Amino acid sequence: PKQRRRRHGHIATSVQRPPIARTAPPKREMMNAAARLGASRMAAPALAAATITLYSVAPHDYARCSAPGVDVKAVKQSIADVIEDDQEKRGDGTSLIGTFVRLAWHCAGTYSKEDGSGGSDGARMRFNPEASWGANAGLGVARGALEPVKEKHPDISYADLYTLAGVVAVEESGGPAVPFRLGRQDMESGESSPPDGRLPDADKGSRTSTVRHVRDVFYRMGFDDREIVALLGAHALGRCHTTRSGYWGPWTFAENTFSNEYFRLLVEERWSPKMTHDGKPWEGPDQFEDSTGKLMMLPSDMILIQDPEFKKVVELYAKDEDAFFADFAKAFSKLLELGVPFPSAAKPWYKFW
């Protein structure tokens, strides 16, 4: 059987500096090699559509809650295998890592502390209206890719599976261990879905409006400024697709490696508005690019160095990866538990690594 193998490695960047030293375990080198050798290669525009045809979500009569005896380690291994097998099929340096993080994020990011609605409980993204929200475009790929895992481990709820996939993606890409516990249940429809518009937008038309929007979204969930910056550090993973969000490109040259590189690039690179793409005028939404034209930042990324309070945290994380990892693990675990009616706090807190 395949064994879990963490991916670490040096990060290729556009700024010359000594490589970040990492200790690479002997297993699961495929993903790390792709991050190093194929990080700057472009994903085919038809990738989303092509991937969708590989998976299909079939209706099943699964239990609404995860069974007590679910082997979380075995489920995590199955998710890791899906990530690796999918990347081998793609062969272009992209993977499901960033997409799985986004899936978990968007399942939980609808929470409101004002009335307790939304959050990761329910797995309502399987149904409309959430399945068809613009903010969730392309996530059918992630949900479909996890269907074989659900079939292999039918006792885990979809809600636990979707959030656990985000945890596995972070850990498999070299990120911190994220505390996780079971307890999310599956709803039978999307009738209890919160209203659309609760997930963060990339741009609200001006710096001031975008800063206010980002804070409004995260404050609504109960996060502070430091937690906001830590969570946005997940943009170290994955890329934007014009076929989904309209934006284009990865945030770093190592989109399958979790690191503080996103923050270092924000601070050290020169970012300018994107004007062209493949030799033609850029006709997509406003975004920024580095000096090579191969990396991108969204307006909601740029505010992290434009707002004084956010910038303090960005500068800290750019220098101290350990601080970022510690803060991210806590904030991401907190995010994934929003809206979940876990048992009394008097009962043990189980952490699965």
Q: Is the backbone peptide bond immediately before 129 cis, with ω within 30 degrees of 0?
A: yes
Q: Is the dihedral of CA 89, 91, 94, 97 positive or negative?
A: positive
Locate 95 and state its tokens: 């993977």
Number of other CB atoms surrounding residue 204 within 10 Å: 18
Are β-strands 239-240 and 249-250 bridged in parallel, bridged antiparallel, or unpaired? Answer: antiparallel
Q: Residues 6 or more apart from 17 whose CB is under 8 A from it?
A: none
Identify whether 241 is a catalytic site residue: no
Q: How far apart are CA 205 and CA 210, in angstroms?
A: 7
Identify whether 251 is a catalytic site residue: yes
Collapsing DSSP to helix, strand or coil, 281 comes out as strand
End-to-end C-alpha distance for the chain, whole angstroms: 19
Selecting among 105, 133, 248, 251, the annotated active-site residue is 251
Selecting among 8, 106, 153, 213, the annotated active-site residue is 106
Q: How far apart are CA 315 and CA 103, in angstroms?
A: 28
Residue 39 per-residue DSSP state: T
Looking up tokens 């969730």 gives: 136
Q: How far apart are CA 166 and CA 39, in angstroms?
A: 21
Collapsing DSSP to helix, strand or coil, 243 comes out as coil
Q: How far apart are CA 52 and CA 143, in angstroms?
A: 10
Residues marked as catalytic:
106, 251
